[in-house]
Amino acid sequence: MKEMIMHSVLLAEHSTPRYTDGSTTDGMNCTSMPHYLVFLHIKLNKLSTLKKDIYLSYMSNKGPLNVNNLSGVISELIQTELHHVRTLRIMDGVFRRGMLEEVQLELGVVHALFPCLERLLMLHTHFLTQLLERRAQSLQPDSTNNFTITQISDLLIQQFSGQSADEMLKAYSEFCSRHMKAVKLYKELLARDKRLQLFIRRVSRGPLLRRHGFQECILLVTQRITKYPVLLQCIYDNTKDNPEEAAGLSQALSCIRELLCSVDQQVLELERTQRLQEIRSRVDPRAEAKLRSGALFRPAELLRRQLIHEGTLLWKTPSSRLKDVQVMLMTDSLVFLQEKDQRFIFASLDKSAVVSLQSLLVRDIANQERGLFLISSESSPPEMYELYAASKDDRNTWIRLIQQTISSCPSREEFPLIETEDKALLRRLRADIQQKDREVLELLQERVTLFSDLSEVMGGYEVMLPSCSRNLFRAESPQAPHGEQLLTQAITEVDRLTELLLGSNFEVPLPCSSNGHHNHTGALVINGQEVLVNGSQENQTAQVHKTNVEVSQRLVNLSAQLHALQGVVIRQDSILELCRRESSVSPATAGVRTVRSLSRDGASDVGSLGELALLQRQHSLLQEELGRLRGAEGKLRDSERARAQLEKQLKDLKTTSAALGDGAGSAGSQAPSTRRESDADPNTDTPLASQESMDQSDGLQECSDVEVDVISDDDEDDEVDSRVSPRSESPRDLQDIPEESESATDPRDREASHC
């Protein structure tokens, strides 16, 4: 009976639908349809033909339908995936494109109706293509329908893990979380837009939908991800005789279950965020709650936090009256709201409407199944809130969630209860920067995909994207490489591409004539006959085709790496700007900021060399500068010692000259007596010393012109050394400046000292 029902259902789907006027899809006039519907009709006819082949192969493979058969379950997986792709193409080709071109709805409205539709279509089309290729590889000899697939776990693991799983998580989380909102928006548009009503009425009578309306398509896509665990479990149950395949299917089954749990969690968080925004839009903008510290809690503070749980409780006042309050369990606090004139205000009862989770105790009330106590001991004296839930289970849920949130509550240093205006502005700016970074990275990723598609269209052969292309654009991912590694890989790809283009890895025949001159006929001419070089013409064509495929693949790899490198640079600039401190920094911190600035400049000019390489380069430059300054310091010290010696000699010479000048007058008047005394006393040497002093004075007069230039050159050298060395302005170096100025007043004496 079950076999007959399923057989009739499949035949009904494969049959040609008829309309009220008796026409069929075979006799439809395609010229009266829009061009995009004609194109979609061709695609869906191909899918229908393929679905018939799968059904016939399934029926002829094992006879009657049997879900315990491995081939039958795999056929069911392929067929349901084909149905899902057909539904997605109807949503994209009929509804989405028709609403844009015919109804002329705004792009934002259409995106709200079909969130992440293009991404879902791309993911499932790729998965279906892999399944059909595996089916074609598993066909039995001399048969076009019968197939036996012995291994499918590798395709399932690839689809439900890694990069593909991340993309499915993001796409289904957004699609499922906006399901109800999209249906509500569709009903509102359908009620007031006449063009949309005519469009829906016309396409519903067409040959493409086959009872697939807008709401039915949305529901089918939402439920699709929940079907995979059941199908994979059936496949796993029928492959226990193959341990290796069973192990792979077990891994794929755990991956899809983990993916489904992640989607549920993401959908729950997105729904909470939407609910928080709805409550915030209903809160009176003038409402405010006064805390025990005296600060004011305003509605804008709600959006800083994440909503954990919300619901209606009863607050018992000191007068034993019960008040309905809307309680919101946030990241770090409990907020009590009251509804007034269809708007929310902060509860104005005997206690504060905002309770911090810091130092909060939760207790149930004895002999009260629905009651609970909240005891806040953050300030003195402690406050106690008495609340009542709708049921015992509801009370237990509140107690459990509050205790879990208290255990993970952030500290007040990390997350203040009330944010100042400056910090709020800074937080918004940081959020905007991060959002723009994410948008830029998404655009870069889409550009890489478009470049790959362009290479496929122009080259005529398939080019695969790098396996980790998505991780390249995710800075928070642990698989995200650094800029230096990306730059190295890009340079390697350029080198390989150069080798391919220049022909270093393969030989390009250079035919030449018998006289030694090259020609371009593609053959070697010997004795008037053409002989092919390096094999036949077919081998050359195959080699050229292989080279073209490899060149295209290298170009796609290079494009992905360079775009990822650009993403790394953008992300690095944002992180450095966000980490910059507002207050004044110390010299050491300024040095670190200089290094970061150099790192940012280097990343913009060279790519991304890495902060470690820049630090090493900066260290080497500082070492060279330190060595040069030490050499200049040594020269300065030598010049200071020479100057000290010259000044000492100058002082001695001044003393000697003064003594000689005083004795010169007396020696002139007493010259006869001195000569007589010199004859009597042979030990007296005064006339000889006087004569030597006079000779020295004459010598000083002769060398004065030369020594002035020498001294000026030495002074200029000292000035240059003092400018080079940073220690020239120290008190130790400046202690001899007055003596230098004194010596400068007597240039003749300094000239004498040089002589």
* 710-732 residue pLDDT tens: 344 444 444 434 444 444 444 44
In a domain, 124, yes or no: yes
What three-state secondary structure class fits 289? Answer: strand
Q: Is pLDDT above 90 for 670?
A: no
Q: 723: which residues sit within 8 A by CB, 6+ positions away?
A: none
CA geometry: angle 375, 380, 384, nearest 5 deg? 20
When pLDDT is cut at 50, 70 and 90, the band that residue 122 belongs to is very high
Supply 702's token pair.
């002769």
**Domain count of the fold of the chain:** 4
Contact 614, 598 (CB under 8 A): yes
Instruction: Please state, for a pLDDT cut of 90, what percent of the chain lies above it.
Output: 25
Domain co-membership, 58 together with 117: yes
Domain assignment of residue 671, yes or no: no
227 pLDDT above the threshold of 90:
yes
- Asked if 722 and 574 sit in the same domain, the reply is no
User: How high is the pLDDT of residue 240?
Assistant: 80
Final residue belonging to a domain, choices 410, 435, 465: 410
| Start-to-end Cα distance in the chain | 130
Same domain flag for 305 and 390: yes
pLDDT of 389 above 50: yes
Domain boundary among 378, 410, 442: 410
State whether 206 and 62 are in the same domain.
yes
CB 534 within 8 A of CB 540: yes
677, part of any domain: no
Residue 147 β-bridge partners: 139
- Beta carbons within 8 Å of 318's beta carbon, 6+ residues apart: 350
Mean pLDDT of 41-51: 48
What's the domain range around 204? 2-14+30-275
602, part of any domain: no
Instruction: Give the chain's length.
Output: 755
pLDDT level of residue 374 (50, 70, 90 thresholds): very high
Closest C-alpha among 510, 527, 531 to residue 519: 510
Same domain, 289 and 271: no
The whole-number pLDDT of residue 664 equals 57
Domain assignment of residue 417, yes or no: no
Element (H, E) at 363: strand 360-364
753 exposure class (CB count in 10 Å sphere: 0-12, 13-18, 19+): buried
- pLDDT higher than 80, residue 34: no
Least confident of 107-116, 566-575, 591-600: 591-600
Question: In one letter, which amino acid is 123?
Answer: L
Q: Does one domain contain both 442 and 524?
A: yes
Residues paired with residue 322 on neighbouring β-strands, in sequence order: 316
Tens digits of per-residue pLDDT, 282-297? 999 898 888 877 788 8
Inter-axis angle of helices 704-724 and 611-669, nearest 10 = 150
Could you tell me if 366 and 436 lie in one domain?
no
Here the tokens at position 592 are 């670190």
Question: Domain of 344: which CATH number?
Answer: 2.30.29.30
In whole angstroms, give the CA distance from residue 749 to residue 752: 5
- CA 149 to CA 74: how far, in whole Å? 8
Q: Does residue 72 sit in the same domain as residue 184? A: yes
- At residue 738's C-alpha, the angle toward residues 736 and 739, to 5°, is 65
Q: Are residues 336 and 460 in the same domain?
A: no
Q: pTM (2 decimals)? A: 0.53
Residue 395: per-residue pLDDT: 93
Distance CA 379, CA 376 (A): 8
Mean pLDDT of all residues in the chain?
A: 71
Same domain, 100 and 197: yes
* Residue 183, domain member (yes or no): yes
Task: Specify if 676 maps to a domain.
Answer: no
* Claim to verify: residue 210 and residue 331 sit in the same structural domain: no
Does a structural domain hold residue 367? yes
CA–CA distance, 26 with 53 (Å, rounded to integer):
19
Q: Chain-centre distance of CA 332, in angstroms?
A: 28
Domain boundary among 275, 309, 330: 275
Task: Name the residue among 47, 75, 52, 76 with its Cα closest to residue 227.
Answer: 76
Question: What was the pLDDT predicted at 429?
Answer: 80
Q: Are 542 and 623 members of one domain?
A: no
**Higher pLDDT, residue 524 or 454:** 454
Task: For residue 293, count CB atoms less than 10 angstroms from its CB and return exposed for 0-12, middle for 13-18, buried for 19 or more.
Answer: exposed
